[in-house]
A and B are shown apart, each in its own frame.
Chain A
Amino acid sequence: MSAAAPDTAVRTASLTRILIYCALILFAFYYLLPLYVMLVNSVKPLDEIRQGDMLSLPQQFTLDPWFSAWSTAQIGVQPTGLKPYFLNSILMVVPAVAASTLLGALNGYVLTKWRFPGDNLVFTLMLLSCFIPFQIVLIPMAKVLGLLGIAGTTWGLSLVHAIYGIGFTTLFFRNYYEAFPTELVRAAMIDGASFFQIFRRILLPSSGPIIVVTVIWQFTNIWNDFLFGVSFADSYSLPMTVALNNLVSSSTGVKEYNVHFAGAILAALPTLIVYVVSGRYFVRGLMAGAVKG
């Protein structure tokens, strides 16, 4: 994340500055603490966690909890580890992100460059759909997935996520294309370029940033979803978040904290990597999704 030039005009004395730095660093510790605790304890043997304190570095370093979380830990009734569910999540996320992003781009293009009577109403209805509590659609969705014969499948989940992502992706692209010069589109129309030619040759080449923002936003939201996963997946098609919750909250046997921590980090890893690699776009997506109407 490149820092925008701090350009406040407020001046502060040096003692105050030291206090400000102290406070800021203190808060950095607060935000890092849970991640640190998970990391350190995921490489300790279980005995050491019980006897030692959660902040100390491991005396005996082991990667066993990680291997266990990945491939042998008990999830529900099967000792499969989180691996198959990690795969499920990927199979769920990729088509859903691709479909909703493509549709959002086309919708944004139509809603800004091919305006028609009633387009504002269409957009408003799509925009409002971003904010509904998903509890309101759970019951009919379960029924429809059953009717379509894709209940309890990864494809079904993917479809659900694609549908409920369209509102946000349309919002992103519409706001972005709104600022795109309509004269260019008009000129191309006069030259006889078709609807799709204009989209492919003129808008798409300059859509890089908004595509990145949208893909990151969709990826993060869908990967992190729990409600749809727990409602619509069967025990073979569970996404990663639900599998993690099953691992952590299973009440049989000894609670293997180190395995839980390793599993939690595995579940967080893809979105964390996306965040570290492209944090600037991540924040931009958050802001666009939150502030812009």
Chain B
Amino acid sequence: MAQAATAPSARNYLQELLPRLVLAPSFAAVLIFVYGFILFTGYLSFTDSKMLPSFGWVGLENYSKLWALPHWWRALGNLGIFGSLYIIICSVLGLGLAILLDQKIRAEGVLRPIYLYPMALSFIVTGTAWKWFLDPGIGLEHTMHQWGWESFSFTWIKDRNFAIYTVVIAAVWQSSGFVMAMFLAGLRGVDNEIIKAAQMDGASNLTIYRRIIIPMMRPVFLSAFVVLAHLAIKAYDLVVALTGGGPGQATELPATFMYSYTFTRNSMGIGAASATIMLIMIASVIVPYLYSELSTGRKS
């Protein structure tokens, strides 16, 4: 009798536990491979690791070395230039294209996929394409010379002072269509009654966009900012394929800096310190955003 009573309750107990057992491996993987690894890398940034991880505690030495490196400052400066231009140009271009596409354009079904397809490509492919397009010896400059415009000169990709802008050009090409899609979805969500009311009051199209519609796009601007900032801080492949960080160190970014210090310059401690700072940069963009998203989501 006693057995018969406990068997179903044991089964119930298992049934109760099963969902959590199913979730457990994934959660454990995330805990170990994401958060455990973050702690490990964070710890390494306080050690004397060179070519291999080593556990001699050196305190903040790696960080003070890192912030004394002109190379790191260049990477941060480049990220500042690249990130801000990338975010601004993508947003302006994306909003502009979305507004133009939102004018009852008959060919929208053809144009939209054309604007968006670069997002499906690997940054390596994008980098390869733009590398040769911008190469003076074979790309745009060469072509202009062939067409008879002998004085045309476009050598940014070979120029220390301008190479970082070629990274912006290629990155904008890849991502602006996506930002356009985000804004287009936002514009389609605008209530037409508001616009009609404004038109009845005699407002011009320009005024309607400037005063009513664009201010209503604020959440989209915020989302676009978060996505683009996050992509900019992570940017690695594009630089590798387009310029390899050069000429010199002209297009180094924190991501390329981290990779070269960790794996080719045998300064794993400094590499780990730079990775930790990248994480802090991304967290300072993502965490407040997700926090506000999740809390407004709960309210509504």
- A interface residues (Cβ-Cβ under 8 A, vs B): 1-4, 6-12, 17, 20-21, 23-25, 27-28, 30-35, 37-38, 41, 49-50, 52-55, 103, 106-107, 110-111, 114, 116, 122, 124-129, 131-141, 143-144, 163-164, 166-167, 170, 194-195, 220, 223-224, 226-227, 230-231, 241-242, 244-245, 248-249, 257, 260-261, 264-265, 267-268, 271-272, 274-276, 279, 282-283, 286-287, 290-291, 293
B221 is an interface residue with CB less than 8 A from chain A = no
Does B263 lie at the interface of the complex (its beta carbon under 8 Å from any beta carbon of A)? yes
Query: Which of B30, B102, B140 is most buried by chain A, counting CB atoms within 10 A of its CB?
Result: B30
Q: Is B167 an interface residue (CB 8 A)?
A: no
- Contacting pair A195 B22 (CB below 8 A): yes
Residues of A within 8 A of B119 (CB): 286
Q: Which B residues lie at the A interface, using CB under 8 A?
A: 15, 18-20, 22-23, 25-27, 29-31, 33-38, 40-41, 44, 53, 97, 100-105, 107-109, 111-126, 128-133, 138-140, 142-143, 146-147, 173, 177-178, 181-182, 185, 187-188, 190, 192, 195-196, 199, 205, 208-209, 223, 227, 230, 233-234, 236-237, 240-241, 244, 255, 258-259, 262-263, 268, 271-272, 274-276, 278-279, 282, 286-287, 289-290, 293-294, 297
Q: For the complex, what is the distance from the CA of A67 to the CA of B100, rounded to whole Å?
A: 42
Do A4 and B188 touch (CB < 8 A)? Answer: yes
Grouping DSSP codes into helix (H, G, I), strand (E, B) and loop, the A interface class, with mixed when no group exceeds half, is helix
A139 x B44 contact (CB < 8 A): yes
Once bound together, how far apart are the Cα atoms of A2 and B109, in whole Å? Answer: 6
The number of inter-chain residue pairs (CB within 8 angstroms) is 293
Q: A34-B173, A35-B129 are in contact. Are A133 and B192 (CB under 8 A)?
A: no
Determine whether the beta carbon of B124 is less than 8 Å from that of A241: yes
- A271 touching B131, Cβ below 8 Å: no
Contact A54 B139 (CB under 8 A): yes
Give the residues in chain B near A30, CB-CB below 8 Å. 173
Chain A residues near B282: list those with CB within 8 A: 131-133
**Which of B19, B124, B196, B262 is A195 in contact with, Cβ under 8 Å?**
B19
Query: In the complex, A34→B287 CA distance in Å?
Result: 36
Q: In the assembly, what is the distance between CA of A248 and CA of B272, in Å?
A: 29
